[in-house]
Amino acid sequence: MISIRTDLAIEARDMYTQENKRELDGVIVKEDQDEEVKITTVTIESDEAGKELGKSKGNYITIDFPEMTYYETEIMDKVSQAINKALSNLIDVPYNKLALVVGLGNRRVTPDSLGPKVTEKIMVTRHIKELMPDAIDESVRPVSCIAPGVLGVTGIETGEIIRSLVEKLKPEIVICIDALGSRKLERVNRTIQISDTGIAPGAGVGNHRMKINEDSIGVKVISIGVPTVVHAATIANDTLDLLLDELIKKSEAGTDFYKMLKSLDRNEKNNLIREILDPSIGDLMVTPKDVDVIMDSLSKVIANGINMAIQPNLDMEEINAFMG
């Protein structure tokens, strides 16, 4: 079993292979590099493999991009196109059927505001299709979106709100966007995970709530998540790993010091760090100082990808004209 929690299937798979020195049966991994953007698809084919990784059976598409993507329009467009392609492969719904986009998270907490910010940029058309059908082309899909808030603010489980909307609106598909948590600092705000297995709100900070998936709400759910935070103990652990690797490089092979460094159990080290830090700093989560700028940029990138995927008959120029 994976001892270190992560919301990313690719990290869970990597930790399993590192610990067991082999690939896990029932898991297929495919990689595709498109210049600066790397796309990795992890397919969990069996419930047994899912249990080992702590993930549901299904497809997990991970999009990795450079750190400076938030400031470079060309790379941002490539990431949006990658999201569009990944979503298009997962959305098997006629273009005239309703899609519901849900922005999970708390808009008042910047690292958790990604979902609500994305919904502000979605091309919403259901009301026009119903009230003014002659004012919009028949090839445009009806779309609704909502940012339902969080349990601590509303007093209502987010899953209950979405299930009620599904019963009322009867969409063919639900797309949820939320903040996640990562095991690696290098992935924070630089990775997008798209999955057809649903999502648990609050997963990024360890507050698991009612799962939002096909079993719980009755329609197919696609989730889009970005790790926006990392645990402080993870930063300390990764720092020590870098230090140990550097000391091993500089130590003379065969010496007692070298042997001691090589024999250190990295998993035990991680547990020790948590035992030391938790009493003093608690469950501290860390995010970059420019997270507000990053959330604004990422929300636009993800919204563009969603808009293109759920409106396959429109190009980006037409979508922007509608939004403008």
Separation of alpha carbons 223 and 101, rounded Å = 10
Rounded to two decimals, the pTM is 0.86
Q: Would you state the pLDDT for residue 282? A: 65
140 vs 282, which has greater pLDDT?
140
Average pLDDT score, the chain: 88
**Domains in the chain: boundaries:** 9-233+284-323, 234-281
Q: Is the pLDDT of residue 324 over 90?
A: no
As a whole number of Å, the end-to-end CA separation of the chain is 49
Q: Cα torsion for 307, 312, 317, 318, to the nearest 10°? A: -90
Residue of 248, 246, 241, 236 lying closest to 278 (CA atoms): 236
Separation of alpha carbons 279 and 269, rounded Å = 17
Dump pLDDT digits (tens) for 56-105. Answer: 999 999 999 987 666 778 889 999 999 999 999 999 888 889 999 999 99
* Backbone dihedral region for residue 77 (phi beyond 0: left; psi -120 to 50: alpha; all else: beta): alpha
Contacts (Cβ under 8 Å, ≥6 apart) of 280: none
pLDDT band at residue 204 using 50, 70 and 90 as cut-offs: very low
Q: Would you state the pLDDT for residue 68? A: 67
Q: What architecture is the 9-233+284-323 domain classified under in CATH?
A: 3-Layer(aba) Sandwich (3.40)
Full DSSP string of 202-238: TGGGT---S-BSHHHHSSEEEEEEEEEEEEHHHHHHH
Dump pLDDT digits (tens) for 216-275. Answer: 999 999 999 999 988 887 888 888 888 888 888 888 887 888 788 778 776 677 677 777
Dump pLDDT digits (tens) for 109-126. Answer: 999 999 999 999 999 999
Q: Is the pLDDT of residue 180 over 80?
A: yes
Q: Would you state the pLDDT for residue 243? A: 85
Phi/psi for 177 (5° steps) reads -120, 135
Q: Would you state the pLDDT for residue 78? A: 92
